[in-house]
Amino acid sequence: MLGAEAVFFVTGAARGIGAAFARLAVGRGRRVVVADVDEPAAKTLAAELGERACAVPLDVRDPAAWEDALDAAWARFGRVDVLVNNAGLLHPGALLEQTDADLRQMLDVNLLGVAYGLRAAVPRLARQGSGHVVDLGSLASYVPLYGQAFYSATKHAVKALHHAFAAEQAGGPVTCTLICPANVDTAMWQRQIAADSNAMSFVKPPLPPERVAAAIWRAAERRPRELLVPFGDGLGAKLMGAFPGLLAFATPRIVRAGRARLERLRARGS
């Protein structure tokens, strides 16, 4: 289902998962729009990738910026086949430790940024007669994480938004996949090392960004409704999220295991 000249529009693409996917897609002969609020970093990556990539500035919190970025994508490549709503952030710390600005930024980027992207891009994909959307959720979309209350709330909201929107588009030319990965070895994960409250992020080693990039590729090719990465951890997250009593029972044990591993990470880094 993925054409030889397919064009991907990837948000938060200058680094992390987005950059890993941009490299994968260009390496497989496709074209990529590297969209990021950090325009210099986006241009650096696009230059590395060559003529099959272009950089566009995009603050996903700004609906007008979405229109400008999509106009630039169409001007360069003449179409977009897959929108990858990848941009997201987490401010470390428990809810009572976070500032009003922290909460507002997570809400605006993680949830409104996805909503604005869907509203701006999907009508264009529909007019051209085909398209696919890949939204990046998280295993936190299913299980509320200790020490990440507001981040979990935004990712729960992304899951609800995604699946309801996909239902609204059913029968039309645009299809949708939600990808929910475990922790990924990105700058966002690295920043949590200093936060004791984020111990649950360290229970297991993080996934390499390339593993999630491969899942995005699979989503674009096969167009499933949802992908859990890894699948087993995703099923566990769904189970605990469905039974609050089980989650309450398991959380202290998981947090203790995460703190032990976090201390080992800190000791190696000191």
Q: How far apart are CA 156 and CA 138, in angstroms?
A: 8
In a domain? residue 54: yes
pLDDT, position 270: 47
Sheet strand arrangement including 131-136: 53-57, 31-36, 7-11, 82-85, 131-136, 174-181, 226-229
Q: Are 94 and 149 in contact (CB under 8 A)?
A: yes
Q: Is residue 115 part of a domain?
A: yes
Number of domains in the chain: 1
The identity of residue 90, as a single letter, is L
Q: pLDDT tens across 20-52, in order?
A: 999 999 999 999 999 999 999 999 999 999 999
In a domain, 160, yes or no: yes
Query: Rounded to two decimals, what is the model's pTM?
Result: 0.95
In a domain, 170, yes or no: yes
Residue 2 forms part of a structural domain? no
Summarised one tens digit per residue, pLDDT across range 185-225 is: 999 989 899 888 888 889 999 999 999 999 999 999 999 99
Is the peptide bond between 144 and the residue preceding it cis, with omega within 30 degrees of 0?
Answer: no
Q: Tell me, yes or no, if 151 is annotated catalytic.
A: yes
Sign of CA dihedral 171, 174, 175, 181: negative
Which residue range(s) make up the domain with 65? 7-269
- Is residue 9 predicted with pLDDT exceeding 50? yes
In a domain, 1, yes or no: no
Q: What is the pLDDT of residues 79-133, one digit of tens each?
A: 999 999 999 999 999 999 999 999 999 999 999 999 999 999 999 999 999 999 9
Q: Which pLDDT score is estimated for 200? A: 86
C-alpha torsion sign, points 198, 204, 208, 212 = negative
Tell me if 148 is assigned to some domain.
Answer: yes
Residue 236, classed as helix, strand or coil, is helix
**Residue from 116, 142, 146, 151 carrying the catalytic annotation:** 151
- Asked, for residue 230, whether it belongs to a domain, the answer is yes
Task: Write the CATH number for 249.
Answer: 3.40.50.720
